[in-house]
Chains A and B, each alone.
Chain A
Amino acid sequence: MVLWLTRSRNVAHHLKRKWDLVGVLNHSSSLCSSSLHQHHHHHHHHRHCSSSSTSPITNNSRDPDTVSSNSASGFSIRRLESTKAQQQLDSVYDDHDDENQVLDFPGGSVMLTSELRFISETPEKRIKCYRVLDDDGQLIMSSSFQEVSKELALKMYRNMITLQTMDTIFYEAQRQGRISFYLTSNGEEAINIASAAAFTTSDVVLPQYREPGVLLWRGFTLQEFTNQCFGNKSDYGKGRQMPIHYGSNKLNYFTVSSPIATQLPQAVGAAYSLKMDGKDACVVTYFGDGGASEGDFHAALNFAAVLEAPVIFICRNNGWAISTPTSEQYRGDGIVVRGQAYGVRSIRVDGNDALAVYNAVKEARKMAISEQRPILIEALTYRTGHHSTSDDSTKYRPVNEIEHWRVARDPVSRFKKWVERNGWWTHEDESELRSSVRKELLNAIQVAEKAEKPPLSDMFTDVYDHPSSNLFEQERFLRETIKRHPLDYPPEVPV
């Protein structure tokens, strides 16, 4: 059961109806959209804004009607009739705010003011971060969250350990030269697994690259991961892409692509399809603090808002984009605040708190589907590993910063403490799990290494649905060349 305890939310909901008071209350928290809303003397019924009593929306959420309605007669300034509410407003607005006048323009109505005042570049307060478990894995008593069953909690924990172990072993395999590249999710296990747990497999995933845990949760086997990293004939990508570029049509997980942020507008298109098909599902797309700087991010949020697409944007704000710290990536209150600018509902969550991530995503999914709208989630975390095996992050960030996050803020041990405290997990369970996952992985590597590479013919297929004549010609020519110079070609690729 969902328990939304925060008082202000109820107040906000209350205000939606009792709008006589809104002007008064809102004014104290500066001019916000809700007060503008009151100047529309219409009552709007529109499809998606259900505002159910359990909806955890804070009072700064923007009703789309404030911009979509009243586009009447071009550009005009008009004085509204005085109402009871208006009189109340009069009494609280200072002289500068000519609250009786609105500028009515095609984009809606905005209040006029004679005061020359710029909006500050920094909000008075930063957006708070939702969390359920404290650093020590203790439940924060006042937090609103959905109970997680023992079964679910253990599945989450097991998946986190599996992901961690996979990272350790594949990283090592790269170091030994057995695979060409690897990239860990260290420090971001909770975002990976807890967000995955909040979706169903009919929800469609468009990943960046640091979310293999989502695929793991959906049932991609360790052998399947291994096959991709080794680029053998069982790799669904047919050995064409670098390691970690997983994809599974069966599991609704789009294939990873290296170019940053390209998945974001695509996610909106995919979500629009679910919407048109009337599916009880949404799209989730992941990206980093760096990715949020790409043009594609901005296009995606705007499209999602305008097209009312059921898509959840999950930003893993891990503090770094390779060597670039967030202070050189953006100057605002992170990624979460961009939601409102585009008309997208958003929340900031502690990405190292599995229960908080799970709850936020679960609720986001519910709203995305029932209200057919996008949601932006900013999960605060830290990339405790190097960017990839091509990187040495001690060149650009202090070792003690890494160590602090790796040890004191580790999301897996935080969740473990909670699970242990519930009496659901023992030391024996832990060592048994770790050693069995290890064994499974080492075995998977042996199998993957022994397996053949994809056949040469796979080089020419899938460029188009059917190979074009130039490809036939090139394949024929290549085969002749191989016959003449067999030593030029790796014998593990069957010709």
Chain B
Amino acid sequence: MATRLNRLSRWHSVFKRGYSTSADEHKLQRSGKTVNLFTAINQALSLALETDPRAYVFGEDVRFGGVFRCTTGLADRFGKSRVFNTPLCEQGIVGFGIGLAAMGNRAIAEIQFADYIYPAFDQIVNEAAKFRYRSGNQFNCGGLTIRTPYGAVGHGGHYHSQSPEAFFCHVPGLKVVVPRSPHQAKGLLLACIRDPNPTIFLEPKWLYRLAAEEVPEHDYMLPLSQAEVIREGSDITLVGWGAQLSVMEQACVDAEKDGISCELIDLRTLIPWDKETVEASVKKTGRLLVSHEAPVTGGFGAEISASIAERCFLRLEAPVARICGLDTPFPLVFEPFYMPTKNKILDAIKATLNY
């Protein structure tokens, strides 16, 4: 992706990026080198290909390493019949992946940008998601994993910035997973690849180079459909995923200076999601804030708010707050205004506490 701009980066530093896996997990894994997000993904793909001869990696421009370098070196190592370029056709990529997966393979498809996933919408929604159900479990395409970079990057405008997760969260039969850091990405991607259900793995592209942390070199998986409390607190629960967590974490740090104790939860898997962890936290704190980059209306935050209102109605001391992208297409020049910034979150935390 393009070099970051001097002129604009001042404003980007408003949302400092780069989140780390919590210290607890590091205690378990001490063997890793510090690597960035795209390298962690590259390691996961490499392991997937190594451990399963029936695994394939394909998509637009993946042979030379992909436009974000996630597939670097894989074609050389595993051969171009297992790691290959496809023609420029997303519906083709996903349809091909479904067929490959249905024959008992691990089809790891790359869509170059999440903004370009829509030509494949029919294949994903009507085909991949319903393959098992409609055949009475005679067939499934559970070996399919669709990786795609999503989210803001500072200068992406309409078509290199979108966060389309909510569309797919509306589709029973799919799993939607979003990692927040290199360590998480490796473990969650391997879990997605090996999960017997079609999975959409949304990679926070702003973090590809920016986020670096220690990542174990060995093969490991992190559980799907399990949220993780990455910061414990007692006054308010914050729920997010992917790149947004680093922004939320900063808000938590600032809130703490004002004596507010925030609990931060990384949902990790958006569907099927871990309501219990969120519910338990909100029962403790009595307050909830959800934050994502996608437009607020119809975003996945709405689903979380509704579910928690159902489950924790009597425990809630304030309405659930949603700090999200605005209801406009993703605008280039107005990106800093569009974004759910730290201070917007911080203001909402305070407003919720003072409700």
Q: Interface on A for B, CB 8 Å cutoff?
A: 174, 177-178, 180-181, 231, 238-242, 245, 257-261, 290-291, 293-296, 321-324, 328-330, 389-391, 395-396, 453-454, 456, 458-460, 463, 468, 470-471, 474, 478, 481-482, 484-485, 488-490, 493
8 Å CB contact of B334 from A240, A245, A481: A240
Interface membership of B327, Cβ < 8 A: yes
What is the CA–CA distance of A419 and B14 in the complex, to the nearest angstrom?
Answer: 55
**Contact at B60–A488, with CB atoms within 8 Å?**
no
Q: A177-B7, A324-B60, A329-B87 are in contact. Are A245 and B157 (CB under 8 A)?
A: yes
Interface residues of B in 326-353 (CB under 8 A from A): 326-329, 331-334, 336-338, 341, 343-344, 347
B64, B87, B155, B334 interface centre (most CB from chain A within 10 Å): B334
**Contact at A180–B2, with CB atoms within 8 Å?**
yes
Interface membership of B253, Cβ < 8 A: no
Jot down 19 A-B pairs with beta carbons below 8 A, ordered by A: A180-B8, A239-B334, A242-B157, A242-B158, A258-B157, A259-B115, A259-B116, A261-B88, A293-B89, A294-B89, A295-B119, A321-B88, A323-B64, A324-B63, A329-B87, A471-B328, A484-B347, A489-B11, A490-B8
Collect the chain B residues with CB atoms within 8 Å of residue A291's CB.
88
**Contact at B87–A240, with CB atoms within 8 Å?**
no
**Contact at A239–B11, with CB atoms within 8 Å?**
no
Q: How far is the CB of B88 from chain A (nearest CB, A)?
A: 4
Interface membership of B138, Cβ < 8 A: no
Q: Interface on B for A, CB 8 Å cutoff?
A: 1-3, 5-8, 10-11, 14, 60-61, 63-65, 67, 84-92, 115-116, 118-119, 155-160, 296-297, 326-329, 331-334, 336-338, 341, 343-344, 347
Collect the chain A residues with CB atoms within 8 Å of residue B61's CB.
321-324
8 Å CB contact of B326 from A178, A389, A478, A484: A478
Collect the chain A residues with CB atoms within 8 Å of residue B116's CB.
259-260
Q: A180-B2, A242-B160, A322-B61 are in contact. Are A474 and B326 (CB under 8 A)?
A: yes
What is the CA–CA distance of A324 and B116 in the complex, to the nearest angstrom?
Answer: 17
What is the CA–CA distance of A291 and B1 in the complex, to the nearest angstrom?
Answer: 21
Collect the chain A residues with CB atoms within 8 Å of residue B87's CB.
290, 293, 324, 328-330
**Contact at A493–B334, with CB atoms within 8 Å?**
yes
Name 10 extra pairs, CB < 8 A, besides A241-B157, A470-B327.
Answer: A177-B7, A180-B332, A259-B116, A290-B87, A329-B88, A391-B67, A456-B334, A459-B337, A468-B327, A489-B336
Which B residue sits closest to A389, measured CB to CB?
B2
Collect the chain A residues with CB atoms within 8 Å of residue B3's CB.
177
Collect the chain B residues with CB atoms within 8 Å of residue A478's CB.
326, 337
**Contact at A485–B88, with CB atoms within 8 Å?**
no
**Contact at B334–A181, with CB atoms within 8 Å?**
no
**Contact at B332–A474, with CB atoms within 8 Å?**
no
Which B residue sits closest to A296, measured CB to CB?
B119
What is the CA–CA distance of A134 and B279 in the complex, to the nearest angstrom?
Answer: 74
**Contact at B89–A181, with CB atoms within 8 Å?**
no
Chain A interface main SS type: loop
Collect the chain A residues with CB atoms within 8 Å of residue B338's CB.
459
Q: A178-B7, A324-B61, A395-B65 are in contact. Are A242 and B156 (CB under 8 A)?
A: yes
**Contact at A396–B157, with CB atoms within 8 Å?**
no
**Contact at B158–A258, with CB atoms within 8 Å?**
yes
Q: How far is the CB of B312 from chain A (nearest CB, A)?
A: 25
Collect the chain A residues with CB atoms within 8 Å of residue B160's CB.
242, 258
Q: A323-B64, A463-B329, A488-B343 are in contact. Are A240 and B88 (CB under 8 A)?
A: no
Collect the chain A residues with CB atoms within 8 Å of residue B337's CB.
456, 459, 478, 482, 489, 493
8 Å CB contact of A493 from B60, B333, B343: B333
What is the CA–CA distance of A273 and B242 in the complex, to the nearest angstrom?
Answer: 45
Q: A241-B157, A242-B160 are in contact. Are A459 and B64 (CB under 8 A)?
A: no
Q: How far is the CB of B294 from chain A (nearest CB, A)?
A: 14
What is the CA–CA distance of A177 and B10 in the complex, to the nearest angstrom?
Answer: 13
B5, B90, B118, B333 interface centre (most CB from chain A within 10 Å): B333
Collect the chain A residues with CB atoms within 8 Å of residue B65's CB.
395
8 Å CB contact of A239 from B296, B332, B341: B332
Collect the chain A residues with CB atoms within 8 Å of residue B328's CB.
459-460, 463, 471
B3, B326, B338 interface centre (most CB from chain A within 10 Å): B326
**Contact at B67–A390, with CB atoms within 8 Å?**
yes
Collect the chain B residues with CB atoms within 8 Å of residue A490's CB.
8, 10-11, 336
**Contact at A177–B6, with CB atoms within 8 Å?**
yes
B2, B297, B338, B347 interface centre (most CB from chain A within 10 Å): B2
Which A residue sits closest to B60, measured CB to CB?
A324
**Contact at A242–B11, with CB atoms within 8 Å?**
no
**Contact at A324–B85, with CB atoms within 8 Å?**
yes
**Contact at B333–A454, with CB atoms within 8 Å?**
yes
**Contact at A481–B1, with CB atoms within 8 Å?**
no
Q: How far is the CB of B95 from chain A (nearest CB, A)?
A: 10
Collect the chain B residues with CB atoms within 8 Å of residue A454's CB.
333
**Contact at A181–B2, with CB atoms within 8 Å?**
yes
**Contact at A240–B343, with CB atoms within 8 Å?**
no
Q: How far is the CB of A128 from chain B (nearest CB, A)?
A: 25
Collect the chain A residues with CB atoms within 8 Å of residue B334's CB.
239-240, 456, 458-459, 493
**Contact at A294–B343, with CB atoms within 8 Å?**
no
**Contact at A295–B89, with CB atoms within 8 Å?**
yes
What is the CA–CA distance of A323 and B75 in the complex, to the nearest angstrom?
Answer: 14
Collect the chain A residues with CB atoms within 8 Å of residue B10's CB.
490
What is the CA–CA distance of A468 and B159 in the complex, to the nearest angstrom?
Answer: 23
What is the CA–CA distance of A488 and B91 in the complex, to the nearest angstrom?
Answer: 40
